[in-house]
Amino acid sequence: MTSSTDSLDLDAASSALDVRLAARRGALTGHTSGLAAAFVQGNLAILPASLADDFRRYCELNPKACPLLGVSEPGDPRLTALGADLDLRSDVPRYRVWRDGELVDQPTDVGRWWRDDLVAFVIGCSFSFEHALLAEGIPLRHVAQGRNVAMYRTNLETQPAGVFRGPTVVSMRPLNAADAIRAIQITSRLPQVHGAPLHLGDPARIGILDIDRPDYGDPIDIRDGELPVFWACGVTPQAAIATARPPFCITHAPGCMLVTDLLNRDLLNRDLIAA
């Protein structure tokens, strides 16, 4: 066994199943960025059933930040809609386990933490729309520079549900105007992975006071002639969970996503923006 992906023969051309099996046997323990590029990757949040109804409602009330790709049955570690063999206890390369909001473990398998009342939520992730943008020739500076995307807490409050509430977190990509227009067209067709941007232009309009100091991720230059373009981000539900401090919770470790059998190309919604 190894913790490196170099000897695993996993790359952009791998299948989702290849990635899940490598994670399941403990061979893949790092991030999934760039692996199995055709397939949809998701954020994972696993909560006790007592909180699941509120969290589901929170996601449904805030679909741009928390687009639900799948929800498991209480106690069932499978989620066949996202992969026939999928095992929620082992198929993410690395997990985080939380008690009362405190990080207590970062295992590669959560079999020993599993409970009969756990409900898993899989939430769309910007990897999918970044694939679509790059495929259309739109340059993404943080990808070219090998950095994490810049993310910010905004003054756009989410719709609360039960204990879940907080600001919308956005990711920012600098684009020239022509690319920004095309990026809006492309991501409008991808509602299950955050959809169209929430904002572009002046960061102060959404409460971002210093664009050079992101709240998460890495800062990125905005060059002459570029506009910052802001999309709702999957960190939003993570921040809501952190604020709620549930008695028990499991999430993926940053960048270590659940790779599903959904195809990125099937996410295209041709009818979404009919006037």
**Chain residues that interact with a second copy, rule: CB under 8 A:** 132, 135-136, 176-178, 180-181, 184-186, 188-189, 196-202, 205, 225, 227, 268, 270-271, 273-275
* Closer residue to a second copy in complex, CB, 6/271: 271
Minimum CB separation from a second copy for residue 196, in Å?
A: 6
d(CA 27, CA 21): 9
- Minimum distance from residue 199 beta carbon to a second copy (Å): 5
Q: Are 126 and 193 in contact (CB under 8 A)?
A: yes
Q: Which distant-in-sequence residues (6+ apart) come within 8 Å of 7 by Cβ?
A: none
CB of 16 to a second copy, least distance (A): 20
**Looking at beta carbons only, is 153 or 252 nearer to a second copy?**
153
Nearest CA among 71, 58, 59 for reference residue 118: 71
Query: Pairing between strand 258-263 and 248-252?
Result: unpaired
Distance between terminal CA atoms of the chain? Answer: 54
Tell me the C-alpha to C-alpha distance, in Å, between residue 239 and each of 99, 215, 216, 235, 256.
15, 11, 11, 6, 17
Distance in Å, CB of 150 to a second copy, minimum: 18
Residue 261: CB minimum distance to a second copy, A: 20
Tell how far CA 188 is from the center of its chain.
17
Which residues, 6+ apart, have CB-to-CB distance to 138 below 8 Å?
175, 179, 182, 183, 186
Closer to a second copy by CB, 69 or 190: give it: 190
Instruction: List beta partners, residue 167.
Output: 157
Of 164 and 231, the one with the shorter C-beta distance to a second copy is 231
Nearer to a second copy, 67 or 83 (CB): 67
Please state the closest distance from residue 177 (CB atom) to a second copy, in A: 5
Q: Determine the Cα–Cα distance for residues 190 and 210; give it in Å rounded to an integer.
A: 29
Cβ distance to a second copy smaller for residue 144 or 274:
274
